[in-house]
Amino acid sequence: MEGAIIGDIIGSVYEVNNPGTVDFDLFTASSHVSDDSVLTVAVADALMNDQSFFNRYRYWGRAFPDAGYGKFFKEWLFSDTDDQGKSFGNGAAMRVSPVAWLCQSLEEVLTVAKQSALPTHHHPEAIKGAQAIAAAIFMARQKRSKPEIKQYIETQFGYTLDKDIAWLRAHYQFDSTAPGSVPEAIFIFLVSNHYEETIRNAISIGGDTDTIACMAGGIAEAYYGPVPDPIRQEALRRVPVSMLAVLQQFQLRVFPTMFGKSM
């Protein structure tokens, strides 16, 4: 979960000003949490405190109304309807990382990932994107190999993960749909060798940088282990106190021996 939030924070300032390279400052004075982090916290809050996803999305979204939500989500967020959103954007995939840590089997991960998508992203492609990211994170934390993860994602979800990073840096365009960004995020993880490289590669291709770095960063943390402390500490300084409280509850639930002290 931290890996996803930190990816969001680092990518937050590069969505418009894509660097096109891995040589950029990880943090600037403007680096901040965006909707990716707010809604990742909402998923964790719902799962840990026996709340509905619907309720927590509305609660956290309205608590941070200017976090940069997509047009359709924002309309849903501030409406009074109980209807499910039909978006096939990457919003369900960007927020799903807590599911992979708080569920105990791959079958449960797929079921809960779908449930977490439904309030706002009822489209099959959005559900598939959320399930794919959650499955990749779960498999990574289960110490499955990259070839195993790749084969499962390609077979189960039909994504093509044989891409070329140089081509992506030169040609990839902004695409906030699930099918247009989830495979790229998983590919970025597969070709990277550690957490920081994953984030740098994610941002280097441009596009929806905070969300691609969020998705790829969530998988990378599960595979490589905790985010390096200097990066972690610099990022957490930018997380609002209310969100930090949920993040700490999550870390104590998942890593009780590692995070048994204040963050």
pTM above 0.85, yes or no: yes
pLDDT, the chain, mean = 94
| Residue 107, both tokens | 């079958």
Q: pLDDT tier at 257 (50, 70, 90 boundaries)?
A: low
pLDDT at 261 over 70: no
Which tokens hold the place of 251? 């870390």
More confident residue, 66 or 87: 66
Tell which CATH classification among 2.40.340.10, 1.10.4080.10, 1.10.580.10, 3.30.1360.120 matches the domain 2-254: 1.10.4080.10
pLDDT band at 16 (very low <50, low <70, confident <90, very high): confident
Task: Give phi and psi for 227, each to the nearest 5.
Answer: -60, 135
The predicted pLDDT at position 258 comes to 64
Tokens (6 digits) for 131:
């399930």
What confidence tens digit (pLDDT) does each residue in 142-163 have? 999 999 999 999 999 999 999 9
pLDDT above 70 coverage of the chain, percent: 97
Domain ranges of the chain: 2-254
Block residue for tokens 């490289």? 197
Query: What is the CA 171 to chain-centroid distance, rounded?
Result: 23
* 216: its two tokens: 């790829």
Predicted pLDDT of residue 88? 86
pLDDT confidence bin for 263, thresholds 50/70/90: very low
Whether residue 259 is predicted with pLDDT greater than 70 in this model: the reply is no
Q: Is pLDDT above 70 for 176? A: yes
pLDDT per position as a tens digit, 104-133: 999 999 999 999 999 999 999 999 999 999
Q: Which among 210, 216, 199 has a CA at the least distance from the CA of 24?
A: 199
pLDDT value at residue 255: 87
Give per-residue pLDDT as tens, 160-173: 999 999 999 999 99
